[in-house]
Amino acid sequence: KRIIQTSDIAKTYHMGSEVVKALKSISIDIYQGEYVAFMGPSGSGKSTLMNIIGCLDTPTSGTYILNDNDVSDLTENELAEIRNKEIGFVFQTFNLLPRNTALENVALPLIYAGYNKYDREEKALSALTSVGLGDRYRHKPNEMSGGQRQRVAIARALVNDPSIILADEPTGNLDSKTSYEIMDLFDELHQKGNTIIMVTHEDDIAHYAHRIVRLRDGLVETDIINTNVTRPE
Ligand code: ADP
Ligand code: ADP
């Protein structure tokens, strides 16, 4: 099943009299269960494209179909609703609430989804268990290592059972050993059928993905199936 279809997407920013074409024409299909890495030099349009795919922003022209819905032209509120339902975000900086426990951080998206407290805690605990942190649910972010914090963030991304996990430089703040552990976890999620899209500028991280899309100057430069997938032991 096709989850993502962008057709001739462009994004233009206006800064005073200057016009920046961040995306010129992007046409990409991504299917359920794919694990894709976006690469490309700084300024090539990765963040802009991720923002559009993640329904944080809309394209200037072209169409974006997400899970059979045309989301190219939605209002801010409509986008927010789709985002909560369809997308799990993982960030380089984890973006956890510092005063809240792991359980509370993971349960947060479920408040917007309208679950009662009991169901929220049950689902959050189950998500934490699935990332190997079932015994750390009372801990606050500053009582955990970087890798554990990123696991909490991944649990939060998973808790709503989203159509896609979008990860922007998920290993950018982690040492290499911890980075590979997080990539092993992504691999597990991929095996379970999750659709994962990540941005990375690190080749060895990108090689965990099964497809590597390189952007340059707002265009797709190459889009290849990765036959050299890194296999965790
Ligand atoms: P990364 O390359 O790590 O994704 P960013 O997306 O933060 O970095 O920024 C990429 C480029 O886009 C930078 O050169 C930055 O100056 C520019 N940029 C990002 N956001 C804005 C903005 N709101 N206004 C102007 N330029 C921006
Ligand atoms: P990347 O993530 O690959 O570094 P970006 O998507 O951040 O690339 O940026 C693509 C281009 O768009 C860059 O030239 C950047 O400066 C520009 N850009 C990004 N965001 C903004 C913004 N909010 N306002 C103006 N220019 C932006």
Pocket of ligand 2 contains residue 47 by CB under 6 Å: yes
- Ligand 2 mean position to 203 CA, how many Å? 22
pLDDT tens-digit profile, the chain (233 residues): 999 999 999 999 999 999 999 999 999 999 999 999 999 999 999 999 999 999 999 999 999 999 999 999 899 999 999 999 999 999 999 999 999 999 999 999 998 888 999 999 999 999 999 999 999 999 999 999 999 999 999 999 999 999 999 999 999 999 999 999 999 999 999 999 999 999 999 999 999 999 999 999 999 999 999 988 887 66
- Total Cβ atoms within 10 A of residue 53: 24
Q: Is 77 left (phi over 0), alpha (psi -120 to 50) or beta?
A: alpha
- Please give the torsion angle defined by the CA atoms of residues 117, 123, 128 and 131, in that order, rounded to the nearest 10 degrees: -160
Atom of ligand 2 nearest to the CA of 15: 25
Residue labelled with tokens 């022209």: 61
Neighbouring residues of 65: CB distance < 8 A, sequence distance ≥ 6 = 2, 4, 5, 6, 7, 71
Find, among 60, 70, 66, 72, the residue nearest to 10 by Cα: 60
Concatenated DSSP letters for 41-54?
A: -TTSSHHHHHHHHT
Q: Whose CA is nearest to atom 15 of ligand 2?
A: 43
